[in-house]
Each structure stands twice: as C-alpha cells, then as structure tokens.
Amino acid sequence: IMLRGKMEQGRYADAQSTAERALEADPSFAPAQNQLGYIALQAGDHARAERAFQEYIRLAPDQPNPYDSLGELYVEMGRYDEGIAQLDKALALNPTFPPSITRRAQANIEKANRRLTAAFAAQDADAIAAGFTPNGMLLPPDGLMVVGTEEIRALYASAFAGSLDNIEVDTREVQVLGEMALEFGRFVVRTGETIAEEGTYDVLWDPSGDTWKIHREIWNATPPSDTPPSTMSAE
C-alpha cells in the first residue's frame, strides 16, 4: 500500500527506495519488483522495466498480474505480438482479469491502427478496405452511410485523389463490449504539412478473424487547430 501510494503521488525516487528496501528484507516480495518495473517504465528505461517484470513473473508465476505488467510494457514499446502473448498468459490464469481484458483489446487495436495508418500513407485504398469487416460501415459527418468493403474502398480512393497524405490517430479510451471493443480517439489528417481535417472518432472493432477489423466507424470533424480564430463580431 505504501509503495502504491508513493507511485500515485509521483514520488518515484521514494517509491524506488522503499521497494529496494523491501527486497533487501525479503527478496521474494514480488510486488516490489512490480513497482520497480513501473518506476523504470515511467522513466522510459524499458530494459530495466523488462528485467523487473520478468523477475516479478519468476516470483509469482501463478498470478495473472505479472504477465499483465510485462504485456503492458511490450505494448507501450510497440512489440504488440509479444505483449498480446503475455496478456494471453494472464487471461489463461484468470479469464476475467479486467486489466488484461482491456489491455489485450487495446494492443490489438493499436496494432490494427498502425497497419491502417501505413496503408493511408501509401494511399492504398484496397488495404484500408481490407481492414473492415465485409459488412463494415462508415458514418462520415454530414454524409451518407458507406456500407461494405467496396464502397469503403471507393470512398478512400476518392479521398486520395484529393492529395491527402497521412493520418495520425490517438486512442484515448477502449471499452470491451462482449465480443467486441469500442475505441474512442482523436485524429489528424494532413496534406503535406497542412492539417486538412481533425476531430474525434468512435470505432467498433470486431476481433473474430485473424486480425481485428473495423465493424463500425463514425467521426466528427472540428476546425483545424492551426486555423486562425475568427475576427467576425456579432452586430
């Protein structure tokens, strides 16, 4: 409890000293290794975090949390397959372990988003359409529903003809809903260095195949952040 409290207060140096003293007194005290791992992760020292989490697993191999911690590290490092494998180990020990359920969904979503943003940068409408379920649906702002992979492919092919270069997505929240997962985030679309569109999006993901695919997507555009404020005044 003391370790967790210091971590939550941002007192990482104190938390590290407390964890190290705890391990000096009892080298088998597994939670201290977990805290050392998260302290290293907070500091951006992934190698040290990995060693601590692996030691945490060695000390508590029958608990789901050590695998969850190592899985979280790998996902943050972009090592998605390794992260998912560790989260699967956690869920094999406890299929209802909430942190691993959510993190596993987020890892698969981030992995799929990386593939889709690469396809966008390559202006590959076919690859983007393949990232949707066969009856996937897009609901653009102020537009008609776009249903099915062929219509989705045509929409993106038309968009690329307008010189859109790349898209950045930032996942803000993931909620697991039964067999599917709902992602909330922000996006920025650029043409060269110019922001063409930005806003928020909601995506319903289907994990039923070999890779997670978009089943439903809706987005809302907001004025680009680099747009000068209006100088008009009410009269």
* Rounded-to-integer distance, Cα 52 and Cα 20, Å: 12
What's the pLDDT score for residue 13?
A: 76
* Single residue among 96, 115, 138 that ends a domain in this structure: 96
Q: What residue ranges in 178-212 does DSSP mark as E strands?
A: 180-191, 194-206
Residue 79 lies in a domain: yes
pLDDT number for residue 97: 98
Give this prediction's pTM: 0.84
Alpha helices in 122-161 (DSSP H): 125-130, 149-160
Identify the domain containing residue 201 by its residue range: 123-222
Inform me whether the pLDDT recorded for 7 exceeds 80.
no
Q: Residues 86, 18: one domain?
A: yes
Residue corresponding to tokens 């699967």? 88
Residue 113 falls inside a structural domain: no
Q: Are residues 71 and 129 in the same domain?
A: no
For the stretch 175-216, pLDDT in tens is 999 999 999 999 999 888 889 889 999 999 999 888 999 999
pLDDT score at 149: 96
Domain check: are 157 and 66 in the same one?
no
Residue 89 domain-assigned (yes or no): yes
Q: Is residue 130 domain-shared with residue 217, that is, in the same domain?
A: yes
Please tell me whether residues 92 and 130 are part of one structural domain.
no
159 plus 218 within the same structural domain: yes
| Residue 161 placed within a domain | yes
Identify the band that residue 225 occupies on the pLDDT scale cut at 50, 70 and 90: low
pLDDT tens profile 112-167: 999 999 999 999 999 999 999 999 999 988 778 999 999 999 999 998 887 778 89
CATH code (residue 170): 3.10.450.50
pLDDT (0 to 100) of residue 1: 43
Q: Are residue 56 and residue 129 in the same domain, yes or no? A: no
pLDDT digits (tens, 9 = 90+) for 26-70: 999 999 999 999 999 999 999 999 999 999 999 999 999 999 999
178 domain-assigned: yes
Provide the pLDDT for residue 226: 52
In a domain, 204, yes or no: yes
Residues 133 and 203 in one domain: yes
Please tell me whether residues 92 and 28 are part of one structural domain: yes
Structure tokens at 89: 């180990």
Among 96, 114, 140, where does a domain finish? 96
Q: In what order do the strands lie in the sheet containing 132-139?
A: 146-147, 132-139, 213-222, 194-206, 180-191, 166-177
Residue 56 within any structural domain of the chain: yes
Which amino acid belongs to residue 213? K
What is the C-alpha separation between 152 and 41, in angstroms, rounded? 39
CATH of the domain at 48: 1.25.40.10
Spell out the long-range contacts of 56-65 with Cβ–Cβ below 8 A and sequence spacing 24 or more.
56/30, 59/28, 59/29, 59/30, 59/33, 60/30, 62/93, 63/30, 63/93, 64/89, 64/90, 64/91, 64/93, 64/94, 64/97, 64/100, 65/34, 65/90, 65/97, 65/99
**227 assigned to some structural domain:** no
Q: How many domains does the chain have?
A: 2
